[in-house]
Amino acid sequence: AGCLEMLRAAGKLGIDLPWAQLFGLLQTAGMQVAPLAQTGLRGLAACGTLWFAWRMHRGLSPQRAAFHLYAVAACYLMLFNPRSENNTYALLAPAMGALCAEEFLVRRNFGRGALLATLALGTVGSFEFGSFLLPEAEPVWLAPLMCLVFTAYLVRQIADELREPDLEAGGVS
pLDDT in tens, 77-123: 999 998 899 999 999 999 999 999 999 999 999 999 999 999 999 99
CB 49 within 8 A of CB 80: no
CB 41 within 8 A of CB 76: no
Residue 67's pLDDT is what?
A: 97
> Average pLDDT over the chain, rounded to whole?
92
pLDDT digits (tens, 9 = 90+) for 14-41: 677 788 999 999 999 999 999 899 999 9
Kindly report the pTM of this predicted structure.
Answer: 0.89
| CA gap 71, 44 in Å, rounded | 18
Is the pLDDT reported for residue 173 higher than 50? no
CB 74 within 8 A of CB 164: no
Residue 144's pLDDT is what?
A: 97
Q: How confident is the model at residue 171 (pLDDT cuts 50, 70, 90)?
A: low
| CA gap 152, 158 in Å, rounded | 10
